Amino acid sequence: MKDFVVPRSTPYKRIFVMNQLKQIHAYTVRNGIDYTDTLVLKLLEIPNIPYAHNLFDLIPKPTVFLYNKLIKAYSSHGQHHQCLSLYTRMSLQRCVPNERSFTLLFSACASLSSPRLGQMIHSRFVKSGLALDGFAETALVDMYAKLGMLACARQQFDEMRVRDIPTWNAMIAGYARSGDLERALELFGLMPNRNVVSWTTMISGFSQNGQYSKALQVFLQMEKERDVKPNEVTIASVLPACANLGALEIGERIEEYSRRSRFFENSHVSNAILEMYARCGKIDIARRVFDEIGSRRNLCSWNSMIMGLAVHGRCREALNLYEQMLTVGIRPDDVTFVGLILACTHGGMVSKGRQLFQSMEPNFSIAPKLEHYGCMVDLLGRAGELEEAYDLIQDMPMKPDNVIWGALLGACSFHGNIKFAEKAAESLFELEPWNPANYVILSNIYASGGRWDGVAKLRKVMKGGKITKAAGYSFIEERGQVHMFIVDDKSHPRSHEMYALLDGFYTKVRLCRDESYCFSELEEMQF
């Protein structure tokens, strides 16, 4: 039995090995040989946890080593309640857990999202008199960080005499997960050494919290490191930043690296590439990527493609893709219907939009969310069905937010409807009194309708409340770098060159006398 090795290969070989182990088990039972411990360990290697647990139950007093092996197996397969159950059994059988036991239990508590259990296991550990080794300390920091108990995590972190990279990563990930990216970045800067997980944690943290520019900056800084190479998680984390910033050149370079490193086969990476092209306006390339993913397409792939087609006004293609999706047996979710109703909005297909919206709950058990109501209000509003849009808002099962009322106000602006514009604006003033855009839109609607008294009243309110319109800004990608500009911005180190170029451009435009001269002059300019 000691020389028996379980091969980790094809399912057929595992079945063959399983049959061999069953034969050995039968042989030991018939001959009164006790190989139970060894059989349990071999079964966990296959793995066949239920069979292993059944044999484990036959052992009168299992060793702590065997307990740890079974706890680890359950933890690896996401059955964390079983880990705590085994710990309870250990206590009843007076089997003293060791540092490894508690390391595994800390991880189980983190996955169960139970602060009470986490604190209880930590308390048991302290009472046991065991000393924390490096693995247990890191697991404890990670547990408290994942449970959102950052003060406890930081206390454990600060008390550690020796911190390895995983410990730093666990603390940084905790801050990033909670949205405290300032502290995460501060710790990141203090790290004596960093690995790919460290960099990816920061990139992912910024990206998931909507700070896409900073996510991209960290990635570009990471690329300069000689000893660290991005992995699949890094790529899947930075591509959404490229998508949201429109950083197409960097996105293309990342795609090339992904294919060269064989990361494209990872569904998260391929889906992120697909979405990046769709969001950057390259919808045909996105479609080619979608087709290339082929049989590996999941719901995320279909949703990204449907949404991309919808945003680019290719409404019929989006709806046809939905029908194809149903044909191959992919069940839609709430995100799918956001894309579909958006497609109807861009295509002016009010009846189809109503039909899709009304099919969500009866056909797919998907209760419409705020996003779906927002899309429907936008669809109806653009089509001029303002009264129906307002009635839909009134009948919503949840309280409408600023996006819902904003969609109605935008539609009123397009159609010049003062009645519903006032209702929408009144709600928006309560929800976001600091937002000048709502005052400006309503003021423009009043002006278009000749209601100058309303315009004057709004200006007085804005002046009294010190409500000013925020400066707009733009992102521009140039040679693999993303730059942000605001109105009259002179903070860029090369701003004097830019303004000189613009002045030259304006001078050329003023000198244009006819179309042919204008075009010939513009072609000569070197941007």
- Asked, for residue 412, whether it belongs to a domain, the answer is yes
pLDDT tens string 359-418: 999 999 999 999 999 999 999 999 999 999 999 999 999 999 999 999 999 999 999 899
pLDDT tens string 120-167: 888 888 888 777 777 888 989 999 999 989 999 999 999 888 889 999
- Asked, for residue 50, whether it belongs to a domain, the answer is no
Q: Are residues 457 and 500 in the same domain?
A: no
pLDDT of 59 reads 83
Q: Which residues contact 128 (CB under 8 A, 6 or more apart)?
A: 96, 97, 102
The least confident of 97-111, 393-407, 496-510 is 496-510
Q: What is the DSSP letter of 478?
A: E
Count of other CB atoms within 10 angstroms of residue 73: 21
Question: Could you tell me which of 168, 122, 184, 176 has the C-alpha nearest to residue 148?
Answer: 176
Domain that holds residue 479: 471-513
Report the SS3 class of residue 473: strand
Owner of token pair 């996006």: 403
Token digits for 54? 């059944």
- Asked, for residue 392, whether it belongs to a domain, the answer is no
| Mean pLDDT comparison of 12-16, 43-47, 169-173, 458-462, highest-scoring range | 169-173
Strands of 345-416 (E only): list them.
none
Q: Which residues contact 4 (CB under 8 A, 6 or more apart)?
A: 24, 42
pLDDT of 76 reads 87
Looking at the 3D structure of the chain, how many domains does it have? 2
Question: In whole angstroms, what is the distance from residue 171 CA to residue 165 CA?
Answer: 10
pLDDT of 75 reads 87
Q: Are residues 450 and 426 in the same domain?
A: yes
Token digits for 384? 């001029």
Q: Are residues 409 and 459 in the same domain?
A: yes
> Which residue among 469, 485, 503 closes a domain?
469
Residue 411, domain CATH: 1.25.40
pLDDT, the chain, mean: 85
pLDDT tens string 217-273: 999 999 998 889 999 999 999 999 999 999 999 999 999 999 999 999 999 999 999
Owner of token pair 């001269």: 517
In angstroms, the Cα distances linking 113 to 119, 155, 175 are: 12, 19, 16
- Asked, for residue 67, whether it belongs to a domain, the answer is no
- What residues does 482 pair with on adjacent strands? 477
Question: In whole angstroms, what is the distance from residue 142 CA to residue 166 CA?
Answer: 9
Q: Are residues 422 and 484 in the same domain?
A: no
pTM of the model: 0.76
Q: Which residues contact 127 (CB under 8 A, 6 or more apart)?
A: none
Token digits for 437? 């855009």
Q: Judge whether residue 56 has pLDDT over 80.
A: yes
Query: Pairing mode, if any, of strands 473-478 and 481-486?
Result: antiparallel
